[in-house]
A and B are shown apart, each in its own frame.
Chain A
Amino acid sequence: MKGRAQRTELLSALGFLLPNFLGFVIFTAGPVLFSLGVSFSNWNLQQTIPFQWIGFGNFVELFHDPQFWLYFANTGYLMLGMPVAIAGSLFMAILLSQRLRGIVVYRTLFYLPSFTSGVALMILWKALYNPDFGPINAMINGVTHALHLKATAPQWLLATKNLLGLDVEQVRMVSKQFGLGARDALILMGVWIAIGGNNMLLYLAALTNVPQELHEAASLDGAGKWASFRNVTWPQLAPTTFFIVVMSFIGGLQGGFDQARVMTAGGPAGTTTTLSYYIYTKAFEEFQIGYASAISWILFAMIFVMTLVNWKYGSKELNY
């Protein structure tokens, strides 16, 4: 009797799972295996060269591909905005966590950029960054003119310069490349979008869960605001911070495609081409499916490592 009841329960469970599971097999599991297989081949959609299994050929070629390393460096450079955005999110969350009047209005305004982010906002920022007609340079020129400074405003999306002085053709630093350019412009926009977004809301939720007694105890011990933050709030927020950092890392590794396609076409001189944009150009412009799949698996491997780190060291119950 019991065995039969279990069997009917299993059957109905299978029925409920079936639609989702079919979709999962067709559009996720199947493609992952397919992609892995293809990464060991020279498959080219234009079929100008005969199909061949080439073992680790793509990965060996990738290792010696100078462009791959440049775009890898670009991807890393664009992730430099992460700590700024995360610290900013925390700062905003702390401001918002005070019981002040009109806080919902502020929260909404902070959240607006991340909520509406997408092609429309990228097109907007392209106009804002326009070196000749955009309002950002108009303001910079206004200020330098008023102060009689002899400074030229940055060329933003048109410049290969950057704050680390990274060279264009090699992964190294040269002083003539020092300045503000396309990559910095994308970082600035990224911080503007992300700072008041989901991470701020996560911090806000975590802050309301910090027990009030801890703060009271700290202030009884004579701790000031900063000491109370460092010794009470910050440790209590650690699981949230860890989660946010890992997720931002995973997002950052895959990021940069939309900006590159809409705002810069990966330029100037490839300086805003990230790994995901490189995969797109290889697969959909040069039709080298095998090679593109190999790059995507390198990305997957890095994300996998980050996920393992999260599983091993992340809080098991990050509950709100």
Chain B
Amino acid sequence: MDSRLSQSTQKPFNVVAWWRGSSRYAVSYLLLTLLALVSFAPFLWMVLASFKPLEEVERLNPFPTVWHPENYVKVFKQIPFARYYFNSVFTAAWVTFLQCLTSAMAAYAFARLKWKGRDVVFRLYLATLMIPGVVTMIPNYALMVKLHLLDSYQGLIVPSAFSAFGTFLLRQFMLTLPPSLDEAAAIDGGSPWQIFWDLILPLARPGLITLAIFTFMGNYGSFFWPLVLIKSEHLRTLPIGMLFFDTNYGRQTNLIMAASVMNIIPLIILFVTSQKFLVRGIQLGAVKG
């Protein structure tokens, strides 16, 4: 047996050294924990309130005296909450799919193909990133009226299917792939579409996943557009449904909190499963072209 190894593992535990080592970080841990509490407290209140009977929501006792999980069932009975869920996920999924496809195609043209005027057109794309949504919102609404797409899934999905930001993000990603890849594939007789679909797209997967998460999240929480576009109850998305639940059904704070909890659960699941891509994407998105 290696004597050095056994020596180091049998070193006696030194309380003083341990305390000196960790007390250096004690202040940091204290501050971190305090901030985490402030971040988390409202969520805690929301979850606890969602299990309380109404009269207890207004009292200070933190925990419900009797837990009422049936509050969650009541939400589904009072409003078509499942329908809102479906509408939100359905439209967000379509928007995500279309936006990833159109952005990836455009990004491929900007990052991997050489053509005259490419950089000018790309700069034009970049410039459109600063156009605020409020400017295009009103004409787009008028356009939806003209096309008879008010109050429809198509009206919710199609205008969001194209994105300059997505193009930009994926271009940054595709630029990092070595150019010799396309050249080799082209010599082997691959068409641009084959190179794009079979070679570049699989390699750009981390970028695509990042964009997909951003797009899905953004659309799942989208508020202004469905608010002005949707009139019928069966087409409402979650944020709109929540808004009317809050204004029309008065002060049923416990049920409204139950609905809010159910609203953010998909986001939390998404976050926990995709943290790695997300953090990277946020940092990549801040890089200017």
The chain A residues found within 8 Å of chain B, CB to CB, are 6, 9-10, 12-17, 19-24, 26-32, 34-35, 38, 92, 95-96, 98, 100, 104, 106, 108-113, 115-121, 123-128, 132-133, 135, 138, 142, 192, 196, 198, 201-202, 205, 243, 250, 253-254, 257-258, 261-262, 276, 279-280, 283-284, 289, 292-293, 296-297, 299-300, 303-304, 307, 314-320
| Chain A CB within 8 A of B57 CB | yes
Q: Which candidate, B3-11, B71-79, B203-211, B267-275, is the interface stretch facing chain A?
A: B267-275
Least Cβ distance of B124 to chain A in Å?
9
A300 with B40: CB separation less than 8 A: no
* Nearest-neighbor residue (CB-CB) of B220 within chain A: A118
CB neighbours of A258 from chain B (8 A): 223-224
A17 with B130: CB separation less than 8 A: no
Least Cβ distance of A213 to chain B in Å?
22
Residue contacts A-B, CB under 8 angstroms, 11 given: A21-B106, A31-B138, A95-B32, A108-B275, A109-B36, A112-B268, A120-B259, A123-B256, A192-B39, A283-B141, A296-B132
CB neighbours of B97 from chain A (8 A): none
Least Cβ distance of A189 to chain B in Å?
9
| Complex-state Cα separation, A111 to B217, whole angstroms | 14
With A28-B136, A35-B136, A299-B134 already in contact, the answer to whether A123 and B227 are too (CB < 8 A) is no
| Complex-state Cα separation, A12 to B196, whole angstroms | 11
CB neighbours of A13 from chain B (8 A): 109, 113, 115, 118
Residue in contact with B135 in the complex, picked from A19, A24, A31, A108, CB distance below 8 Å: A31
* Nearest-neighbor residue (CB-CB) of A10 within chain B: B115
With A20-B167, A123-B242, A262-B243 already in contact, the answer to whether A276 and B134 are too (CB < 8 A) is yes
* Nearest-neighbor residue (CB-CB) of A308 within chain B: B130
| Complex-state Cα separation, A303 to B130, whole angstroms | 7
B260 with A192: CB separation less than 8 A: no
B164 with A262: CB separation less than 8 A: no
B60 with A35: CB separation less than 8 A: no
B116 with A10: CB separation less than 8 A: yes
B102 with A201: CB separation less than 8 A: no
A27 with B256: CB separation less than 8 A: no
A23 with B162: CB separation less than 8 A: yes
* Nearest-neighbor residue (CB-CB) of B121 within chain A: A17
A124 with B102: CB separation less than 8 A: no
Residue in contact with B45 in the complex, picked from A126, A135, A276, CB distance below 8 Å: A135
| Complex-state Cα separation, A108 to B213, whole angstroms | 16
B260 with A120: CB separation less than 8 A: yes
CB neighbours of B162 from chain A (8 A): 19-20, 22-24, 27-28
CB neighbours of A111 from chain B (8 A): 271
B36 with A300: CB separation less than 8 A: no
* Nearest-neighbor residue (CB-CB) of A114 within chain B: B39
A121 with B192: CB separation less than 8 A: no
* Nearest-neighbor residue (CB-CB) of A12 within chain B: B192
Q: Which 6 A-B pairs have the closest CB atoms?
A: A23-B162, A31-B139, A118-B221, A20-B106, A119-B239, A16-B109
Determine the main DSSP class of B at the interface with A: helix
A254 with B134: CB separation less than 8 A: yes
Least Cβ distance of B89 to chain A in Å?
15
With A35-B135, A257-B224, A300-B135 already in contact, the answer to whether A19 and B143 are too (CB < 8 A) is no
| Chain A CB within 8 A of B25 CB | yes
Least Cβ distance of A96 to chain B in Å?
8
Residue in contact with A95 in the complex, picked from B31, B57, B246, B282, CB distance below 8 Å: B31
B39 with A296: CB separation less than 8 A: no
* Nearest-neighbor residue (CB-CB) of B237 within chain A: A119
B40 with A138: CB separation less than 8 A: no
| Chain A CB within 8 A of B161 CB | yes
CB neighbours of A202 from chain B (8 A): 282-283, 286
CB neighbours of A317 from chain B (8 A): 287-288
Q: Mark B45-80, 1 if CB is under 8 A from A, else 0.
A: 110010000000110100000000000000000000
Having A20-B167, A279-B134, one finds 5 other A-B pairs with CB under 8 Å, namely A35-B135, A92-B35, A108-B275, A118-B223, A123-B242
Q: Which residues 80-112 of B have a CB within 8 angstroms of A?
A: 101-103, 105-106, 108-109
| Complex-state Cα separation, A9 to B40, whole angstroms | 54
Least Cβ distance of A250 to chain B in Å?
7
| Chain A CB within 8 A of B20 CB | no
CB neighbours of B46 from chain A (8 A): 124
CB neighbours of B108 from chain A (8 A): 16
| Complex-state Cα separation, A41 to B35, whole angstroms | 51
| Complex-state Cα separation, A288 to B37, whole angstroms | 46
CB neighbours of B29 from chain A (8 A): 100
Q: Mark B189-225, 1 if CB is under 8 A from A, else 0.
A: 0001100100000000000000000000100010110
A16 with B221: CB separation less than 8 A: no
